[in-house]
Amino acid sequence: MTKAEQETYNRRLKIQRDNYAADKYARETAIAEGRAEGRAKGLAEGEAAKAETVARKLLQRGFDKQEIAEITGLAGEDVEALR
């Protein structure tokens, strides 16, 4: 291989490696962001489910709809829908 051919080869190899590293970083970043988003969504859904469970128990014990809404953080309409 001549010196010019070797330099061309090295440049192409560097470009390939740079592209590979950029793609790998992009995939890893997207995966991490997706996991964080999924975790946050799951926690929010869990908190909402817990609030509904507590609201149902309070309804069974005869608490006022407004009190339940204040205690659980649910909207009054959401508490009413649980009845």
Please list, residue by residue across 23-38, b when 16 or more beta carbons sit within 10 angstroms of its beta carbon and e when fewer do.
Answer: eeeeeeeeeeeeeeee
Give the count of domains, the chain. Answer: 1
What pLDDT shows up at residue 83? 76
Question: pTM of whole model > 0.75?
Answer: no
Q: Helices 3-60 & 65-72, crossing angle to 10 degrees?
A: 150
pLDDT tens across 9-63, in order?
A: 999 999 999 999 999 999 999 999 999 999 999 999 999 999 999 999 999 999 9
CA–CA gap between residue 48 and residue 83 (Å, rounded): 16
Show the domain range for 9: 3-81
> Which residues neighbour 59 within 8 Å (Cβ) at sequence distance 6 or greater?
68, 79, 82, 83
Maximum C-alpha span of the chain: 90
